[in-house]
A = this chain, B = another copy of it.
Amino acid sequence: MPLTLPPSSIATAARSLTAAAASTAANSTTATAARRLSLIKRNLTPVPVAAAAKMTAAYTRKHRVTVIGSGNWGSAISKIVAENTKAHPTIFEPEIFMWVFEENYQLPSDHPKYDASKHSSPQKLTTLINDLHENVKYLPSITLPSNVVATPDIKAAVRDATILVFNVPHQFMGNICKQLEGAVLPYARAVSCIKGVEVSADGISLFSDYIGKRLGIYCGALSGANIANEVAAEKFSETTVAYDPPGHLTPLPEELPPVDHSVMKHLFHRPYFHVRVVNDVAGVSLGGALKNVIALAAGFVDGLGWGDNAKAAVMRVGLMEMQKFGRMFFQETCRAGTFTEESCGVADLITSCNGGRNHRCAMLSVREGKSIEEIEARVLNGQKLQGTSTAREVNQFLAQRGLEKEFPLMTGVYLILSGQAKVEDLPKMIEREENDK
A162 at the interface (CB under 8 A from B): no
Name which of A142-150, A205-213, A338-346 contacts chain B. A338-346
Among residues 300 to 346 in chain A, which have CB atoms less than 8 Å away from a CB atom of chain B?
301, 306-313, 315-317, 319-320, 323, 337, 340-343, 346
Inter-chain contact B271/A308, CB cutoff 8 Å: no
How many copies of the chain does the oligomer comprise? 2
Name which of A53-61, A111-119, A234-242 contacts chain B. A234-242
Inter-chain contact B343/A341, CB cutoff 8 Å: no
> Quick one: given A309-B226, A309-B230, A347-B315, are A434 and B276 in contact (CB under 8 Å)?
yes
Task: Give the dominant DSSP class at A's interface.
Answer: helix
CA distance A351 to B315 in the complex (A): 11
Name which of A17-25, A391-399, A422-430 contacts chain B. A422-430
Inter-chain contact A309/B225, CB cutoff 8 Å: yes
With a cutoff of 8 Å between Cβ atoms, the chain B residues found around residue A238 in the complex are 309, 312-313, 316-317
Q: Of residues A306, A312, A346, A355, which shows the largest number of chain B Cβ atoms within 10 Å of its Cβ? A: A312
CA distance A109 to B105 in the complex (A): 70
> Quick one: given A340-B341, A346-B319, A426-B236, are A231 and B276 in contact (CB under 8 Å)?
no
A-side interface size class: 35 or more
A-B contacts, 30 listed (Cβ < 8 Å): A225-B308, A225-B309, A225-B313, A225-B316, A226-B309, A230-B306, A231-B309, A236-B301, A236-B310, A237-B312, A237-B313, A238-B312, A238-B317, A271-B428, A272-B427, A274-B427, A308-B354, A311-B351, A311-B354, A312-B350, A312-B354, A313-B343, A315-B346, A315-B347, A316-B346, A320-B341, A340-B341, A346-B346, A350-B350, A354-B354
Query: Chain B nearest CB: distance from A213 CB in Å?
Result: 32
With a cutoff of 8 Å between Cβ atoms, the chain B residues found around residue A230 in the complex are 306-310
With a cutoff of 8 Å between Cβ atoms, the chain B residues found around residue A309 in the complex are 225-227, 230-231, 235-238, 351
Tell me the nearest residue of chain B to A424, going by C-beta: B236
Closest 3 CB pairs of A and B: A237-B309, A340-B340, A312-B347
